[in-house]
């Protein structure tokens, strides 16, 4: 037992406008449809969010079967690999691969090899006269990185198309050591975030928190936010954002 545990310290903070959750506080639960899997519901409406972010660690014979229904999902393989069946096709999901599953999609994930999946899920909001989105699959390392607001040290990769069919974005932000979000953002869009690599300081509302790979952050709409990358290696995070719909 380390000193933090011995004296009841934690970096976890769950507040009305944001939450920081660290792996040391994660407690697995079970989720219907996912057999032989440890599920961490990292962010959910129980916290005040309007979407869910969860992580699934699949044991050797684990599998996940279901239908998105009126929801949509982005599944991102953080580690390992598994097979997947959706849209009437077989897919192989290796670390760094992702899939967007629109409403009404049957899915089956199985044959895992140390697979750890990150899932963002929310109710899809249709838009009159705009077609529903289709399945999108890809690899994060094939998504072109753009300097964020001209800042070469902060590179943004969008995994999904940004057209009005899509009401959510999932992006990967990579910061060179010392790079920052160029200003303190305050916006209507909500975020769910997983730190993939490195470390830094996240300003959330009026507080500053040290964060590192494995940490999870929820930012409510209008939560002031800012990040500075620290350490000797780049910091990166994958995050969800609601887009393209009227408030």
**Are the CB atoms for 147 and 76 separated by under 8 Å?**
no
Instruction: Return the closest-CA partner of residue 137 out of 75, 83, 81.
Output: 75
Q: Is 241 one of the binding residues for ligand UGY (CB under 6 A)?
A: yes
- Which of 51-59, 65-73, 141-149, 180-188 is the region at the interface with Mn ion (rule: CB under 5 A)? 180-188
Give the strand pairing for 225-230 and 199-204: antiparallel
Q: Which of residues 144-203 bind ligand UGY (CB under 6 A)?
A: 173, 181, 185, 191
Output the smallest distance, CB 185 to Mn ion, in A: 4
| Binding pattern for the stretch 208-237 against ligand UGY, x by CB under 6 A and - elsewhere | -----------------x------------
Identify what 79 binds: Mn ion, ligand UGY, none; CB under 5 to 8 Å per kind: none
Beta carbon nearer to Mn ion, 25 or 147: 147
Tell me which of 12, 79, 185, 205 binds Mn ion, using CB under 5 A: 185
**Are the CB atoms for 92 and 52 separated by under 8 Å?**
no
Beta carbon nearer to ligand UGY, 68 or 180: 180
DSSP-assigned letters across all residues of 166-220: -SEEEEEEEE-TT-B-SS-B--S--EEEEEEE-EEEEEETTEEEEEETT-EEEE-
């Amino acid at each position: 037992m380390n000193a933090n545990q011995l004296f009841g310290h934690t970096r976890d903070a769950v507040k009305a406008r944001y939450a920081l959750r660290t792996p040391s506080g994660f407690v697995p639960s079970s989720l219907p449809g996912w057999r032989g899997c440890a599920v961490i519901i990292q962010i959910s409406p129980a916290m005040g969010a309007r979407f869910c972010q969860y992580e699934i660690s699949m044991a050797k014979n684990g599998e996940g079967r279901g239908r998105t229904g009126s929801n949509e999902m982005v599944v991102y393989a953080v580690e390992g690999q598994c097979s997947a069946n959706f849209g009437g096709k077989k897919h192989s999901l290796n670390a760094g691969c992702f899939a967007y599953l629109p409403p009404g999609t049957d899915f089956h994930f199985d044959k895992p090899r140390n697979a750890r999946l990150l899932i963002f899920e929310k109710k899809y909001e249709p838009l009159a006269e705009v077609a529903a989105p289709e399945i999108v699959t890809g690899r994060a390392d094939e998504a072109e990185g753009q300097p964020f607001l001209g800042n070469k040290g902060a590179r943004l990769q969008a995994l999904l198309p940004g057209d009005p069919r899509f009401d959510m974005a999932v992006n990967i932000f990579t910061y060179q050591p010392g790079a920052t979000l160029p200003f303190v953002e305050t916006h209507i869009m909500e975020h769910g975030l997983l730190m993939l690599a490195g470390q830094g300081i996240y300003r959330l509302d009026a507080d500053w928190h040290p964060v590192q790979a494995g940490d999870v952050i929820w930012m409510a709409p209008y939560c002031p936010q800012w990040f500075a990358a620290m350490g000797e290696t780049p910091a990166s995070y994958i995050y969800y954002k609601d887009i393209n719909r009227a408030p």
